[in-house]
Amino acid sequence: MQTILNIFSYWDSALAVVLVLGGLIFFHELGHFIAFRAFKVGVITFSIGMGPKIWKVKRGKTEYCLSLLPFGGYVAGVGEYDDEVESLGFTQEDAVTSRAPWQRLIIAAAGPLMNLLIAWLIYWGLTAATGLAVSQPQVGGILPQSAAEAAGLKPGDMITAIDGVKIERWGQVPDIVGESGGRTMQVEVEREGRKQIFAMTPTRRERTNLFGETEIAWLIGVQASGAVRYEEKGFFESAVLGLQKTWDMIDLTLTSVKKMITGSVAAESVGGPIMIAQMLGEQAKVGIVPLLLLAALISVNLGLLNLFPIPVLDGGAIVFCLIEMVIRRPVPEKAQEWLMKIGAGLLIALMLFATFNDVMRWFK
Domain boundaries, the chain: 103-131+234-364, 134-230
Give mean pLDDT, residues 143-162.
Answer: 90
CATH number of the domain at 134-230, please?
2.30.42.10
> pLDDT at position 83, please?
64
The angle subtended at Cα 342 by Cα 336 and Cα 343, nearest 5°, is: 85
Q: Mean pLDDT in the chain?
A: 84
- Which is higher by pLDDT, 221 or 273? 221
Residue 348 binned pLDDT confidence (cut-offs 50, 70, 90): confident
The span from the CA of 236 to the CA of 253, in Å, is 26
* Burial class of residue 209 in the structure, from the number of CB atoms within 10 Å of its CB (0-12 exposed, 13-18 middle, 19+ buried): exposed
Is 282 assigned a catalytic role? no
- Judge contact between 181 and 218, C-beta under 8 A: yes
pLDDT over 80 (residue 170): yes
Q: Of 163-177, 181-195, 247-261, where does mean pLDDT reach its minimum?
A: 247-261
**3-state DSSP assignment of residue 158:** strand
- Look at the pTM and tell me if it is higher than 0.95: no
Query: What single letter denotes the amino acid at residue 30?
Result: L
Antiparallel, parallel or unpaired: β 139-142 and 222-224: antiparallel
The CA R_g of the chain, rounded to the nearest whole Å, is: 26
Per-residue burial over 109-119, b if 16 or more Cβ lie within 10 Å, else e, is bbbbbbbbbbb
At 32-50, the pLDDT tens digits run: 999 999 999 988 888 888 7
Give mean pLDDT, residues 24-30.
Answer: 90
Give mean pLDDT, residues 298-316.
Answer: 90
Query: What single letter denotes the amino acid at residue 135?
Result: S
Q: Of 52-61, 84-93, 228-237, 261-270, where does mean pLDDT reach its minimum?
A: 261-270
The span from the CA of 213 to the CA of 211, in Å, is 6
pLDDT over 50 (residue 6): no
At 13-23, the pLDDT tens digits run: 667 777 788 88
Least Cα distance to 43 among 65, 57, 63 occurs for: 63
> pLDDT at position 2, please?
39
pLDDT over 50 (residue 7): no
> pLDDT at position 265, please?
63
- Which is higher by pLDDT, 110 or 92? 110
At 262-302, the pLDDT tens digits run: 766 666 666 666 666 666 667 667 678 888 888 898 899 99
Give mean pLDDT, residues 180-193.
Answer: 90
Report which secondary-structure segment, H or E, holds 222: strand 222-224
Antiparallel, parallel or unpaired: β 214-219 and 132-135: unpaired
The span from the CA of 65 to the CA of 302, in Å, is 23
C-alpha distance across the termini of the chain, in Å:
30
Query: What single letter denotes the amino acid at residue 62?
Result: T
> pLDDT at position 3, please?
40
